[in-house]
Amino acid sequence: MSVDQAITKSVQDFEKATTHMKEEFSRLQIGRASAALIENVPVEVYGQSQPLKAIANISIPDPRSLVIQPWDRGSLAAIEKGIVGIGVGLNPINDGNLIRINIPPLTEERRAELAKKVKQLAEEAKISVRTARQDAHNVFKKLKAESELTEDDLRDADKRLQTKVDEVNGKIDEMAKTKEADIMKI
């Protein structure tokens, strides 16, 4: 593996980390309805666990509620159990044909909790970035040990990699700050 390949692989890993963080941010309940809150809830139906979006239609009739209409009414109880089981404080209302979920307004305590979660998710993304950076650095060291890189080339490769790391960390910080401001907004 060359220096350029190692840096390219690291950049791809950085993108994966930020994409994962964005997905996790979308799952945070911030006082408005979003299908992302529940679309990947595991539901035990037909003898196996499936994501909710695979067995039902999720719609958002207004900013404070979700409606889940399963393709098979027999799975209503399993869907209800799955939603309660994820532990995010959503209370499904089963009317026999579909399930309604009213999104409660956030309390100040819940907002602070979610802000902590945002910081935690951002830190996890940064850890992933550091891990990818370390993997690339190990490739650089290996190339140096095999005399394929000079000391100057090693320093240059590390600088190029660190520039990419700084860019991604700045992007992660900015996304976390934006999400935190969104959560704290009443």
Three-class DSSP labels, 136-182 = HHHHHHHHHHCCCCCHHHHHHHHHHHHHHHHHHHHHHHHHHHHHHHH
**Mean pLDDT score of the chain, rounded to an integer?**
87
CATH 3.30.1360.40 intervals, the chain? 31-102
Select 31-102's CATH number: 1.20.1050.90, 3.30.1360.40, 1.10.1040.10, 3.40.30.10: 3.30.1360.40
* pLDDT level of residue 92 (50, 70, 90 thresholds): confident
Residue 35 CB: number of other CB atoms within 10 A?
Answer: 16
pLDDT score for 29: 64
Q: Does domain 3-26+107-184 have CATH number 3.60.40.10?
A: no
Q: Is the pLDDT of residue 31 over 70?
A: no
Q: What are the residue ranges of CATH 1.10.132.20 in the chain?
A: 3-26+107-184
Q: What pLDDT is recorded for position 186?
A: 63
